Amino acid sequence: MRPDGVLFDLDHTIFRGTTLNMEPALRLLIDEYEMSDICLKTMLDRCNRLWHGLYSRSRDSGFELSIRHLCRFLCSEFGYDVNIGPKMERRIFDLTYAVEGLEEGVRDVLEELEKRQIPRGVLSNNAFSGQTLLYGLGQHSVGHLFTVVLSSADMGVRKPYPGVFRAAAASLGVSAPRTWFVGDSFAADVLGAQSAGMTAVWYNRAGTAVPEAPPCAIINHWREFIDRLPPLN
């Protein structure tokens, strides 16, 4: 089946080697909002407790705690009411979200889909908004190759909830049954996409053991994805 649209996970699917370090962002918040009475170490300790408390609970419950809400709540713990807007979020992203690069071959896939005029999108479980993630994709010269970028921070709900997959397909302008979804997480990406009626492709670059009769297509390298596309007429 030729897909009417293709959706991708982000971390470990498009982006390779992502890490998050909140300390520079906290220093930015202290400076930007003139919280000179707050010790960076104290704020970092509080942030770590919130991250491992509130954030882990939000993940377990299936709901998302956005980076904006986390930072605002953290500042309120010290008596400061701040507004984390899109520009500040991008500054926090630049300071905290490190990406080694793109997964090998993914640019070729995106360009092939563009050549075939198949819409492309991202659906990521991520504390940053889709607009900020699109900004990050632009830093790696592939932002223009996506029609839409959505994150769980935009919708408040995380994969594998099937509704977020259907919402992403609708934003892409296609129906879920005519959409392919590609991701590295079997539980969040493959099972979630299938529950929404999509065709799932498991990007298993890590070589995770698979069932004898896998319920989905499996690729270990992006060149295998291009081989799975129907031939051009």
Q: Are 152 and 111 within 8 A, CB to CB?
A: no
Question: How far out from the chain centre does Cα 101 lie?
Answer: 15
Radius of gyration of the chain (CA): 19
Report the mean per-residue pLDDT for the chain.
93
Q: What per-residue confidence (pLDDT) applies to 60?
A: 76
Tokens read off for 47: 């942030």
212: pLDDT confidence band, cut at 50, 70 and 90?
Answer: low
Q: Are 198 and 177 within 8 A, CB to CB?
A: yes
| All structural domains of the chain with their residue ranges | 5-16+102-228, 19-97
Dihedral sign (CA 110, 111, 112, 118): positive
Tokens read off for 193: 């996409």
Question: What confidence tens digit (pLDDT) does each residue in 32-87 have?
Answer: 999 999 999 999 999 988 887 777 777 778 899 899 999 999 999 999 999 999 99
Other residues' Cβ atoms within 10 Å of the Cβ of residue 147: 17
Q: What per-residue confidence (pLDDT) applies to 49?
A: 87
Whether 128 has a pLDDT exceeding 70, the answer reads: yes
Provide the greatest CA pair distance for the chain: 67
Q: What per-residue confidence (pLDDT) applies to 74?
A: 92
213: pLDDT confidence band, cut at 50, 70 and 90?
Answer: low
**CATH for 5-16+102-228 (3.30.420.40, 3.60.20.10, 3.40.190.10, 3.40.50.1000):** 3.40.50.1000
3-state secondary structure of 192: helix
Q: What per-residue confidence (pLDDT) applies to 35?
A: 93
Q: Are 174 and 5 within 8 A, CB to CB?
A: yes
